[in-house]
Amino acid sequence: MFQTVEELVKRCETEDKAIHEIMLEQEMDVTGATAEEVYAGMSHHFKTMENALEEGLNGVTSTTGLTGGDAVLIKRYLESGQALSGPVLLDAVSKAVATNEVNAAMGKICATPTAGSAGVVPGVLFAIKHRFNPTQRDMLNFLLTAGAFGFVVANNASISGASGGCQAEVGSAAAMAAAATVEMAGGTPQQSAEAFAICMKNMLGLVCDPVAGLVEVPCVKRNAAGASNALVSADMALAGVTSRIPTDEVIEAMYRIGQTMPSALRETGRGGLAGTPTGQRLKQQIFGD
């Protein structure tokens, strides 16, 4: 069983296997399930992601009215041909926002790795689907690869906003998506690790400051930023760019930053954007005095 990214990459290189293959073996060892049983479970999660994404792109609004409809706006803007960002990147953004808007509207999503960051991984996966034309099994392998990196983070740092800020949630999700994208694009396990590190470094220190304590503002738009960060980081790694700080040390740095982050900036809804005059006014509108 691997515990660090370094161990994961070494196993891939020594055994001449892809990251998803190592993760599949570990899942089988831990759960006692067969490969097909693991894939069956992954298929269920995959379908949940797909359904949430489609629902969001059709337009949803949260009960509070704080979020909703932005995914539709982004999709229409992309279709207009006027977008400044590339089509794959903006498609990922629209899909990430769509998924997280469904979460805010109390719809059914798949936490990857958390509900607040649930849009990043599926947003990126379903956007690059049109670029690589993967099979269903390929897309499930994408999720296994993302899960391998999420496993390391969860066991060596944190994926909780209450514990480590939004860097631990959207930051982890974005880095997981970056690593999995590299593998789907034909990159090496080491390049996946580099993409993860680059992506995570770009989100270190990101606070968790939900307005009114709800997973809506600024959470939904941070999923958009996470998706774009994932794709840019994957491209950098595939281009040969490396992280001067090893991946496992980046994960440790994220953990230590989270430990020193004030409690007001860790999902308590007291600091950051939640503490602004507008943030406080919205809280009062929703919950009263």
**C-alpha–C-alpha distance, residues 172 and 254, integer Å:** 9
- What is the DSSP-derived secondary structure letter of residue 242? -
Three-state SS at 288: coil
Give the chain's residues under pLDDT 70: none
Q: Is-contact 287 274, C-beta < 8 A?
A: no
| Concatenated DSSP letters of 7-65 | HHHHHHHHHT--HHHHHHHHHHHHH---HHHHHHHHHHHHHHHHHHHHHHHT--B-TTS
Q: What is the pLDDT of residue 215?
A: 97
Three-state SS at 234: helix
Three-state SS at 117: coil
Q: What is the pLDDT of residue 289?
A: 77
Q: What is the pLDDT of residues 170-226, one digit of tens each?
A: 999 999 999 999 999 999 999 999 999 999 999 999 999 999 999 999 999 999 999
